[in-house]
Structure 1
Amino acid sequence: MSLPLDAADSPPDSSDSAAQTGVRGVKSAARTVELLELLASRQNRPARLRELSEALGAPRSSIYALIRTLVEHGWVRTDATGTLYSIGIRALLAGTTYLDTDPYLRIVQPHINDLGALLDETIHFGRLDRGDIVYLATKESSQYLRPFSRVGRRLPAFSTAMGKSLLAERLGTGVEVPIPEQLTPLTPNTLVDRDALVRDLELTRRRGYAIDNEENYAGVTCFGFALRYTGPPTDAISCSVPISRLTDDRTREIVEAMERTRLAIERMAPMDLSGLTTGL
């Protein structure tokens, strides 16, 4: 059964679209990327045309012309009513190709699998992209199961152990990653005071690894280690542990195992002192 269209969400008529842009007039690669990134950032929440237009600051007719092109080519999908849009299957295929051809992931994956089997905790591998960490691989603990896959998800670098380990590597280097002016907490423990965050990053650099103390997910502590095969580092590994299982002895065991794994990965990885191209 079709649902009634909201006037603000219904497609513009052909004369409106043709007068302002027309499908043939949509040539902006930057606008296309912005639209796809916006849809991806919403994860499982489809968006209406009005929301996309307002978020991108562009006319509805222009966004509609662009989104119809992307729907036709499989980069965006729509629901049965034609009013709700989300990321399409072509984006999945492109992302899978990225993972399949990444030279570092092929090296890291067996190591995090072995580390996960040794510790039976959840191990992550991620990459810094602007001010966020993007998860590229995860080895889940057998002691609990997540209702979703972490791979492909994006989280603020300042609130995650992997992100903080990489931000700490950049202190005083002139290639610091911009930290948002407004730090939005993910949990009550998230560091949202900039001075406190900088002090934590300085401690991270001296200690050699980062600690996310329930800053990203309540009830979970995470230990993050930068992988120094690029200069400055862009990749990191982490170990997530429920605080109910975390003792001083367990912390030492995890940190020592993570450090061994970091060194093993760095010995095998091709060195690239220019850094990865990730939009930093």
Structure 2
Amino acid sequence: MPSPTNAAHGAASQSSAQGAQVKSAVRTVELLEYFAGRPGMHSLAEVQEQTGYPKSSLYMLLRTLAELGWVETDATGTRYGIGVRALLVGSSYIDGDAVVLAARPTLDLLAEDTGETIHLARLDGANVVYLATRQSQHSLRPFTRIGRRLPAYSTSHGKALLATLGDDAVRRLLPERLEPLTEHTHTDREELIRELAEVRARGYAVDREENTLGLRCFGVAIPYRTPARDAVSVSVPVARLTPGREQTIRDALFDARDRLTLATRHL
């Protein structure tokens, strides 16, 4: 029978090994998120400066991820970026998401009814992530990739989703000072919260060139759960927007919300 001392040492050693494995897993995920949020190639020194990881362990982790295809290197092998295997995870998430599947007919119809660019987005912390898009057929139109992440406070679908939270929940989620993306972006959290009260009252949110200059967007939350986590929006170049056009878009959005509520009622 092992002595109590040996048993204690064995347990401590096992716990230490498990802790190291957990730390390695956390760093792996953080590295992939780092590269996913910063397109292009980055030097080891740059990654080390941003992550704070020890250079030797960071190098070994990057080599392992590169061998597995999750990270790519340039021709010199000294710069790193997100690898092609990451696409498999993203595609699998989108392809298997029940809301995305249920929303497809409604997104198609909304794009047909408005002739504008349509987005389906999900709240993820303080950001929204694009899950699906339908491009406008106009030559003047926004281009958005699936998987794009933006601050919720600067987008119409983000504000529609934040409006389904309580004011205190928004305060916990967002800092007092908000980083502007354009000259029209809210920079004061309390000012944003006052607008969210208006969003709740009228049932839709508006992005007035707060994320992209020259673009106005209208968004509604999909209330299949409370608080909502998904929303749909219509994006329109300001040059093409009139009061009558705006009313048509709002009406189409409300119809889409009703159809999406019905389509997602069992989710």
What TM-score do the two structures reach when normalised by structure 2?
A: 0.87
- 1:184 is matched with 179
Deviation at 1:270, TM superposition (A): 3.6
- 2:116 is matched with 121
Mark the CA change 1:116 to 1:25 in structure 2 (over 3 Å): closer, same or farther: closer
- 1:156 is matched with 151
The one-letter code matched in structure 1 to 2:180 is P
Looking at structure 2, the residues matched to 82 and 148 of structure 1 have their Cα atoms a distance apart, in angstroms, of 32
Deviation sequence 1:8-27 (CA, Å, 0-9, x none)? xxxxxxxxxxxxxxxx9796
SS in 1 for 2:256: helix
Task: Tell me if 1:47 matches 2:42.
Answer: yes
Looking at structure 2, the residues matched to 110 and 210 of structure 1 have their Cα atoms a distance apart, in angstroms, of 23
- The answer to whether the 8 Å contact 1:126/1:236 transfers is yes
Looking at structure 1, the residues matched to 214 and 143 of structure 2 have their Cα atoms a distance apart, in angstroms, of 18
Task: Tell me if 1:264 matches 2:259.
Answer: yes
Task: Tell me if 1:232 matches 2:264.
Answer: no
- The answer to whether the 8 Å contact 1:26/1:66 transfers is no
Aligned CA RMSD, in angstroms, stands at: 2.0
Deviation at 1:144, TM superposition (A): 2.7
Looking at structure 2, the residues matched to 177 and 115 of structure 1 have their Cα atoms a distance apart, in angstroms, of 34
SS in 1 for 2:259: helix
- 1:56 is matched with 51
Deviation sequence 1:191-225 (CA, Å, 0-9, x none)? 11222111111111111111000000000000010
Gap regions ≥5 residues in structure 1: 1-23, 273-280
- The answer to whether the 8 Å contact 1:131/1:177 transfers is no
- 1:31 is matched with 27
Mark the CA change 1:151 to 1:66 in structure 2 (over 3 Å): closer, same or farther: same
Looking at structure 2, the residues matched to 202 and 148 of structure 1 have their Cα atoms a distance apart, in angstroms, of 30
SS in 1 for 2:138: coil
What TM-score do the two structures reach when normalised by structure 1?
A: 0.84
- 1:97 is matched with 92
Mark the CA change 1:111 to 1:173 in structure 2 (over 3 Å): closer, same or farther: farther
The one-letter code matched in structure 2 to 1:255 is R
Deviation at 1:177, TM superposition (A): 6.0
Gap regions ≥5 residues in structure 2: 1-19
